[in-house]
Amino acid sequence: MIDPTILRLTVRQLLGQRRSIVMVLFALLPVLLAVLYALENDSSDAQGWTAKVALGGLVIGLVLPFTALVFGTAALGQEFEDGTAVYLLAKPIPRATIVFSKLVVAWAATTAVVVVSAALTGAIGLSGEPGEGIIAGFVAAAVVGSLVYCAAFLWLSIATSRALIVGLLYVFIWQGVVVSLFSGVRYFSISQYALGIAKAFITAPDDIFDPRLNVAPAVLFAVLVTVGATWLSVRALQRWEIGEAT
Amino acid sequence: MTQESPAVEVDHVSRWYGNIVAVNDISFALNGGITGLLGPNGAGKSTLLHMLAGFLRPSAGGVRVLGEPAWQNPAMYRRIGLVQERESVYPFLSGYEFVLDSARLHHIAEPEKAALKAIHMVELESAMSRATGGYSKGMKQRIKIAAALVHEPQVLLLDEPFNGADPRQRLQLMDMLRAMAKEGRTVVFSSHILEEVERLADDVLVIVAGRLAASGDFHEIRKLMTDRPHSFFLRASDNRRLAASLVADASVYGVELAGDDLRVSTSEFASFTQAVAGVARRAGVSIYEIRPTDESLESVFSYLVKR
């Protein structure tokens, strides 16, 4: 189900991109803010600030979707853009194997960046305060959220040549505006799934961290979106047609 | 593939994009040997080649390669190779890695050996350790060909394979393709350059405006192209006297005098070009200029379509 040659090719492809370095720098932003927070403030609300603002808002709300968007769309979308997709597709490899291999690399790359960002931000933000599962919760949220986002953005990169724009609209407009205005659509927000999963590990009271989705629906929807997007990716790749410009 | 199945079978295939018809009701069957897909740019050659390679779904009709449907059939790539026109290589891979990964993706036993053999076939050993990102256009073309034939495919499809290759590389690639054809493989390549097809192809498919304008033995079609009505522009010391003399020549069927211009229509290109100097000499006329007026490839193709 996973092809080692595709794994290796994709890793080298992602590592060689300038945008990967930009994403790493971007992921350090919450860490920097946590350092400033730790230096400037007393620790009376360290738990609340770390969970809601630094980890929930910045890491899960911004760093996670943008990193996943970059790696998820580049893992295969880059090859559609530069024409190397045909090199890969003109091989007797089941399309599912290509999708799974690409997804694994995008997921691993996103997880590596976001988990480090979450762990460092959490550790510095809490500054010796009791963690009450906050760091573990957001690390788990980063791992699961990375998978769901990457699956969705990988599908987007096969389905449309404007995956980055559509992804940005989803993150900014849908998750940033629509979900905050209309509570009912929280079931269609991947960030909300990640936050719901984080809550499963956090023992701090609700005034510290209270996500909009409970754990059970968060897990259920995360699984549904991951499986659904992966299935759609395989199907789209099976029906993929070379473009005039390809 | 059964004994009866042609290597490539195209049955009433059309492909359209919205209102634009790229390929219009084309049928043909190919077996071993080299077939040239000839036509002007935008004629539909790449669309047809991509349908043969399973990368485009025919809007109507069917394509079978080695007895199997081409569309949605990745298993077919065990026995076919595709070289597309676009310069698409992974720039961070060396030439050797590029071909080796192709061999690995085909799950070939001893991929290293197969990669070296394919690189040797395109004579790129000296540059195989360099990153393909730094290759010239011709080198990229050759490394792509090596990657496409590393698994020794029965059918090789090439889209404008000689673009960017210098004359020596062109000859070398032609020799290689001829050798593959001799082994009984089917090689289909597209080109908009008549001379390339003339030098390499046993059979030719002429595609014009999405339609199959002519197909079959190249020399028969070349004769059709040569013997079509031609028009020449002439300028001589006495156009009127030359016109009167040319009318008497059997190869000429029309003469038009307009001001200082003399236009002559002939149905036999070779006979006319051989006769015209003698006719002028006998008439005591000096020819200052003579040139064909419609020698563009497009006009040749248009003629074939009208027939």
Residue A88 predicted with pLDDT over 60: yes
Residue B300 predicted with pLDDT over 80: no
pLDDT of residue A145: 97
ipTM greater than cut 0.85: yes
pLDDT of residue B1: 47
pLDDT tier for residue A59 given thresholds of 50, 70 and 90: very high
Read off the pLDDT of residues B186-198 as tens digits, 9 standing for 90 and up: 999 998 877 788 8
Q: What is the mean pLDDT of chain B?
A: 88
The nearest CA of chain B is from the CA of A2 a distance in Å of 12
Q: Which of B148, B149, B143 is nearest to B165 (CA)?
A: B143
Read off the pLDDT of residues A6-45 as tens digits, 9 standing for 90 and up: 999 999 999 888 888 899 999 999 999 999 999 887 667 8
| Minimum CA–CA partner of A242 in chain B | B55
At A167, is the secondary structure helix, strand, or coil? helix
Q: Residue A207 is which amino acid?
A: D
Secondary structure in 3-state letters for B141-163: HHHHHHHHHCCCCCEEEEECCCC
Q: Which residues of B109-138 are buried (b: 16+ CB within 10 A; e: fewer)?
A: eebeebbbbbbebbebeebbeebbeebeeb
Return d(Cα B149, Cα A55) in angstroms, integer: 52
Select the residue from A2, A3, A5 to test the B interface by mutation, using most B Cβ atoms within 10 A: A5
Residue A243 predicted with pLDDT over 80: no
Q: Long-range contacts: A237-245, Cβ < 8 Å, 24+? A: A237/A89, A237/A95, A237/A98, A237/A99, A237/A158, A238/A95, A238/B72, A239/B57, A239/B72, A240/A85, A240/A89, A240/A158, A240/B55, A241/B55, A241/B56, A241/B57, A242/A86, A242/B50, A242/B55, A242/B56, A242/B84, A243/A161, A244/B17
**Contact at CB, A83 and B88, closer than 8 angstroms:** yes
Calculate what percentage of chain B has a pLDDT beyond 90: 53
Read off the pLDDT of residues B94-127 as tens digits, 9 standing for 90 and up: 999 999 999 999 999 999 999 999 999 999 999 9
- CB-based contact (8 Å) between A6 and chain B? yes
pLDDT of residue B275: 87
pLDDT of residue B72: 93
**Contact at CB, A5 and B101, closer than 8 angstroms:** yes
Phi first, then psi: give them for residue B83, nearest 5 degrees: -120, 110
Residue B287 predicted with pLDDT over 50: yes
pLDDT tier for residue B260 given thresholds of 50, 70 and 90: confident
pLDDT of residue A245: 38
Element (H, E) at B36: strand B33-38
pLDDT tier for residue A114 given thresholds of 50, 70 and 90: very high
Residue B3 predicted with pLDDT over 80: no
Cβ-contact B57, A75 below 8 angstroms: no
Return d(Cα B283, Cα A245) in angstroms, integer: 57
CA trace torsion B58, B60, B66, B72 (10° rounding): 50
pLDDT of residue A242: 87
Largest CA distance in chain A: 61
Distance of CA A104 to the CA centre of its chain: 13
Q: Which of B150, B61, B53 is nearest to B102 (CA)?
A: B150
**Contact at CB, B102 and A93, closer than 8 angstroms:** no
Cβ-contact B215, B28 below 8 angstroms: yes
pLDDT of residue A223: 98
Return d(Cα A166, Cα A172) in angstroms, integer: 10
DSSP β-ladder status, B33-38 and B186-191: parallel
pLDDT of residue B299: 64
Query: Which whole number is the average pLDDT over B33-51?
Result: 90
Residue ranges of B 27-56 with Cβ closer than 8 A to chain A: 50, 53, 55-56
- CB-based contact (8 Å) between B250 and chain A? no
Return the higher-pLDDT residue of B69 and A18: B69
Query: Which whole number is the average pLDDT over A241-246?
Result: 63
pLDDT of residue B85: 86
Q: Residue A178 is which amino acid?
A: V
pLDDT of residue B251: 81
Return d(Cα A160, Cα B284) in angstroms, integer: 71
pLDDT of residue B227: 64
A to B CB pairs, distance under 8 Å: 74
**Contact at CB, B75 and A92, closer than 8 angstroms:** yes
Calculate what percentage of chain A has a pLDDT beyond 70: 98
Q: Which pTM was predicted?
A: 0.85
Residue A85 predicted with pLDDT over 80: yes
- Sheet with strand B155-159: strands edge to edge: B80-83, B155-159, B186-191, B33-38, B203-208, B211-217
Read off the pLDDT of residues B80-99 as tens digits, 9 standing for 90 and up: 999 988 878 999 999 999 99
Specify the residue for token string 């724009």. A165
From residue A212, alpha-carbon distances to A12, A119, A195, A223, B233 in Å are 38, 23, 8, 18, 83
Return d(Cα A169, Cα A148) in angstroms, integer: 17
Q: What is the DSSP string of A62-86?
A: IIHHHHHHHHHHHHHHHHHHHSTHH
Q: Which of A68-82, A201-215, B289-303 has the lowest mean pLDDT?
A: B289-303
Q: Residue B44 is which amino acid?
A: G
Please enumerate in sequence order all residues whose Cβ is within 8 A of that of B105, keeping only pairs 6 or more positions apart, or say none.
A3, A5, A6, A88, A91, A93
**Contact at CB, A91 and B74, closer than 8 angstroms:** yes
- Sheet with strand B20-30: strands edge to edge: B20-30, B8-17, B60-65, B68-69
Read off the pLDDT of residues A116-160 as tens digits, 9 standing for 90 and up: 999 999 999 988 788 889 999 999 999 999 999 999 999 999 999
Residue B69, strand partner residues: B64
Phi first, then psi: give them for residue B254, nearest 5 degrees: -160, 140
Return the higher-pLDDT residue of B61 and A15: B61
pLDDT tier for residue B304 given thresholds of 50, 70 and 90: low
**Contact at CB, B106 and A87, closer than 8 angstroms:** no
pLDDT of residue B296: 58
Return d(Cα B207, Cα B9) in angstroms, integer: 16
B78, B84, B104 ranked by CB distance to A92: nearest: B78
pLDDT tier for residue B306 given thresholds of 50, 70 and 90: low
Tally of CB atoms within 10 A around A198: 30
Select the residue from B88, B102, B137, B150 to test the A interface by mutation, using most A Cβ atoms within 10 A: B88
- B185 Rama sector, left if φ>0, alpha if ψ -120 to 50, beta otherwise: beta
Calculate what percentage of chain B has a pLDDT beyond 70: 92
Cβ-contact A208, B22 below 8 angstroms: no
At B171, is the secondary structure helix, strand, or coil? helix
| Minimum CA–CA partner of A14 in chain B | B92
- CB-based contact (8 Å) between A216 and chain B? no
Q: What is the mean pLDDT of chain A?
A: 92
pLDDT tier for residue A246 given thresholds of 50, 70 and 90: very low
Calculate what percentage of chain A has a pLDDT beyond 90: 76
Residue B285 predicted with pLDDT over 70: yes
Residue B265, strand partner residues: B231, B254
